[in-house]
C-alpha cells in the first residue's frame, strides 16, 4: 500500500521542479529592480495616471492629493502584493506555479495561479497591441493609408511569434529601449515645470465642464485616491504575484526588499508622479493650457493623459516621432507577455503544441484590440486586480500562518485557497459587473485592494476552521533552507 504522503502523489510538474541555485542569483540592482522598473516605464501605465471620466480626473483635488494616491499605491504594491511572493521565491528558489501549490493545492495550483497567469498575459498583450498600434498609426498615417486595425494584427502576430521563438534577441534590445520613455518623461517635465506651481484644480474642472457637460461630477479626495489605487494596483497585480519568479534570482531578503523598494515603489512614484506633474504643468501654464484645450476640442474631449499632451508640449512633428519611439519601446513587453504565456501553457497544457495554444490566445488579444475593448484600461485593470488580488492576499495569509516559511504543496485542491479566491474575486469584479449589467449596487472603492483584503481574511478564517488540505513533502531536491 502506498504511503498517502508519498511524493509520488504529487503531479509531475511539481516533482520535476528544481530550485534556482545560489550560484545563479545576483544583486537586486542587476535583476529585480531594473526588470520591474521597465514595467512601469511602459507608457501605457504612466500616461493615464490621473485620467478619469469625471471632471478634472485625478487632479480634481490638486497635485498633492494625486501624489498621495500614488504614494499609497506604491506602498501597497510593494508591501502587500510583491513582498511575500518575493520572499517565498527567494526562500525556495521555486517558480510561482510551484509555490502557489501551498495556497491552492497541488492539483489546484495547476490552474491557479499557473494557468491563470498564462491566460491573463493575453489580456496584457491586447492592451499592448491596442496602444502601440494607435501610436504607430499616429506616425505613419501621413505616409500610408493603413488602418490601425491592420497594424494591430501585424503587431500581435509578430509579438506572439517572437515571444515563442526569438525572446533571447528581444531581451538584448529591451535593455536599452526603456531609456526612451524615461527620456520623454524628463523632457516633458522640464518643459512643463513652470506651470505646476500655478495649477488650479478649479480651472481644470471648469474647462472640463465646458468641453464635456455630461461628465460626472469631480471626485472627492477619497475618490481620487481610490481611483489611483484601482488603476495602479490593478495594473500591478499579476506582476506582484510574479514576484515569486523574481525572488528566485535574489540572494537574500535584502535583495527582495531593495528590489521592490526601488523597482516598484520608487518606479511608480517617478513614472506616474512625473506624468501627473506634466498634466498639471500643462493646465497651469496659460500658453500650454490654451493649446491643450484647442487640441482637446478637436478630439471633442479634454486631454488628461500625458501621452496625448506630447504634441502640445513639444510640437506636432516631435510628437509624432516620440509616439513612434514609444510604440517601438513597447515591443519587448509584448513579446515577454507571449513568452510568459507560452511557458505557462508548456507546463499546464504540455500535450498541446505551444504554437496552437499561444496562437489562439494571440488571436483573442488581437480581437480585443481591434474592437477597442483592450483600450479601456481601467476595466481591464479591474479584471486583473480582481483575479490576482485575492491570490496575493491568500498567499500572504498562508505565509503568515506558517510562520514566514513555505509549507510545501498541499494535496488536491486546498479549500481555503479556493474559497478565499472566489469571494475575493467577486468583490474585486463588482465595479465591472455594475457597469456591464447595470446593477444598482454601491460603488466599490479601490476594488483590487479590497479583493486582496477579502482573500487574506477569508483564507485566515478558513484555515482557522480547518479547511486546509494536508501537506505533501517534496523530493529532497525541492527542499530549501
Q: Name the maximum alpha-carbon separation found in the chain.
A: 82
- Measured CA to CA in angstroms, residue 58 lies from 139, 178, 197, 201, 421 at distances of 28, 26, 17, 10, 30
Give the pLDDT confidence score for residue 78 in this predicted structure.
98
Please answer whether residues 452 and 390 qualify as being in contact, where contact means their C-beta atoms are separated by less than 8 angstroms: yes
In sequence order, the 6+-apart residues with CB closer than 8 A to the CB of 96 are: 85, 89, 113, 114, 117, 241, 242, 244, 245
Distance CA 111, CA 108 (A): 5
Please answer whether residues 152 and 366 qualify as being in contact, where contact means their C-beta atoms are separated by less than 8 angstroms: yes
The boundaries of the domain holding residue 47 are: 33-376
Give the pLDDT confidence score for residue 170 in this predicted structure.
59
50 found inside a domain: yes
* Bond prior to 241 in cis (omega within 30° of 0): no
446 found inside a domain: no
253 found inside a domain: yes
Which residues pair with residue 421 across a beta bridge?
A: none
Contacts by residues 288-292 (CB-CB < 8 Å, ≥ 24 positions apart): 288/192, 288/195, 288/312, 288/313, 289/195, 289/203, 289/207
Nearest to 61 by CA among 183, 158, 178, 200: 200
Instruction: Give, rounded to a whole angstrom, the gap between the first and last alpha carbons of the chain.
Output: 31
User: Considering the entire predicted model, what is its pTM?
Assistant: 0.90
- Measured CA to CA in angstroms, residue 6 lies from 2, 3, 467, 471 at distances of 7, 5, 21, 10
pLDDT tens-place string over residues 327-379: 998 888 888 788 778 777 776 676 788 788 888 989 999 999 999 998 888 88
Distance CA 128, CA 135 (A): 11
Give the pLDDT confidence score for residue 5 in this predicted structure.
46
Distance, C-alpha 135 to centroid of its chain: 20
393 found inside a domain: no
Give the pLDDT confidence score for residue 171 in this predicted structure.
58
Q: How many domains does the chain have?
A: 1
Distance CA 123, CA 337 (A): 9
pLDDT tens-place string over residues 372-416: 998 888 888 889 899 999 999 999 999 999 999 999 999 999 999
**How many residues appear in the chain?**
481
Interior angle at CA 330, CA 329 and CA 331, nearest 5: 95
Give the pLDDT confidence score for residue 166 in this predicted structure.
56
Give the pLDDT confidence score for residue 354 in this predicted structure.
79
Nearest to 307 by CA among 58, 50, 36: 50
480 found inside a domain: no
Q: Which residues of the chain have pLDDT under 50?
A: 1-5, 7, 478-481
Give the pLDDT confidence score for residue 2 in this predicted structure.
41
Q: Cell triple for residue 392?
A: 496575493
Q: Cell triple for residue 412?
A: 488536491
218 found inside a domain: yes
Distance CA 307, CA 324 (A): 12
- Measured CA to CA in angstroms, residue 4 lies from 362, 402, 470 at distances of 41, 22, 10
101 found inside a domain: yes
Please answer whether residues 276 and 225 qualify as being in contact, where contact means their C-beta atoms are separated by less than 8 angstroms: no
Question: What string of DSSP letters covers 298-357?
Answer: HHTS---STTTTHHHHH-HHHHHHHHHHHHHHTHHHHHHHHHHHHHHHHHHTTTS-HHHH
Give the pLDDT confidence score for residue 478 in this predicted structure.
43
Q: Is 471 helix (H, G, I), strand (E, B) or coil?
A: strand
The domain that contains 226 carries what CATH number?
1.10.4160.10
Nearest to 240 by CA among 407, 19, 388: 388
452 found inside a domain: no
Amino acid at each position: 500500500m502506498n504511503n498517502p504522503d508519498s511524493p509520488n502523489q504529487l503531479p509531475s510538474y511539481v516533482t520535476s521542479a528544481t530550485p534556482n541555485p545560489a550560484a545563479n542569483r545576483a544583486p537586486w540592482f542587476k535583476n529585480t529592480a531594473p526588470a520591474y522598473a521597465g514595467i512601469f516605464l511602459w507608457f501605457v501605465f504612466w500616461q493615464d495616471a490621473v485620467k478619469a471620466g469625471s471632471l478634472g480626473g485625478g487632479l480634481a483635488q490638486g497635485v498633492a492629493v494625486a501624489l498621495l494616491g500614488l504614494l499609497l499605491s506604491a506602498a501597497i504594491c510593494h508591501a502587500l502584493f510583491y513582498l511575500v511572493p518575493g520572499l517565498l521565491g527567494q526562500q525556495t528558489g521555486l517558480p510561482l506555479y510551484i509555490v502557489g501549490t501551498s495556497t491552492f493545492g497541488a492539483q489546484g495550483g495547476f490552474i491557479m495561479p499557473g494557468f491563470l497567469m498564462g491566460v491573463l498575459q493575453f489580456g496584457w498583450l491586447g492592451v499592448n497591441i491596442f496602444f502601440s498600434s494607435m501610436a504607430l498609426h499616429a506616425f505613419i498615417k501621413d505616409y500610408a493609408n493603413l488602418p490601425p486595425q491592420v497594424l494591430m494584427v501585424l503587431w500581435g502576430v509578430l509579438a506572439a511569434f517572437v515571444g515563442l521563438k526569438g525572446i533571447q534577441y528581444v531581451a538584448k534590445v529591451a535593455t536599452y529601449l526603456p531609456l526612451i520613455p524615461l527620456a520623454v518623461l524628463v523632457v516633458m517635465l522640464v518643459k512643463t515645470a513652470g506651470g505646476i506651481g500655478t495649477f488650479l484644480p478649479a480651472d481644470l474642472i471648469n474647462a472640463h465642464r465646458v468641453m464635456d457637460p455630461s461628465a460626472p461630477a469631480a471626485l472627492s479626495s477619497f475618490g481620487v485616491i481610490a481611483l489611483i489605487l484601482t488603476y495602479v494596483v490593478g495594473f500591478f497585480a499579476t506582476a506582484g504575484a510574479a514576484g515569486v519568479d523574481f525572488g528566485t534570482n535574489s540572494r537574500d531578503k535584502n535583495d527582495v526588499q531593495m528590489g521592490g523598494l526601488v523597482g516598484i515603489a520608487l518606479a511608480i512614484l517617478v513614472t506616474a508622479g512625473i506624468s501627473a506633474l506634466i498634466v498639471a504643468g500643462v493646465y497651469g501654464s496659460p500658453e500650454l493650457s490654451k493649446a491643450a484645450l484647442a487640441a482637446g476640442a478637436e478630439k471633442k474631449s479634454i486631454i488628461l493623459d500625458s501621452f496625448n499632451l506630447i504634441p502640445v508640449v513639444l510640437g506636432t512633428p516631435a510628437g509624432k516621432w516620440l509616439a513612434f519611439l514609444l510604440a517601438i519601446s513597447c515591443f519587448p513587453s509584448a513579446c515577454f507577455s507571449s513568452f510568459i504565456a507560452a511557458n505557462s501553457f508548456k507546463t499546464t497544457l504540455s500535450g498541446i503544441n505551444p504554437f496552437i495554444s499561444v496562437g489562439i490566445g494571440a488571436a483573442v488579444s488581437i480581437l480585443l484590440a481591434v474592437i477597442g475593448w483592450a483600450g479601456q484600461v481601467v476595466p481591464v485593470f479591474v479584471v486583473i486586480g480582481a483575479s490576482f488580488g485575492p491570490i496575493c492576499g491568500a498567499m500572504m495569509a498562508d505565509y503568515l500562518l506558517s510562520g514566514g516559511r513555505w509549507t510545501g504543496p498541499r494535496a488536491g485542491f486546498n479549500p481555503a485557497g479556493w474559497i478565499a479566491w472566489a469571494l475575493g474575486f467577486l468583490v474585486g469584479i463588482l465595479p465591472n459587473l455594475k457597469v456591464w449589467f447595470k446593477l444598482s449596487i454601491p460603488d466599490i472603492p479601490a476594488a483590487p485592494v479590497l479583493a486582496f483584503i477579502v482573500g487574506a481574511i477569508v483564507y485566515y478564517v478558513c484555515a482557522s476552521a480547518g479547511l486546509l488540505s494536508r501537506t505533501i513533502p517534496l523530493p529532497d531536491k525541492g527542499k530549501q533552507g
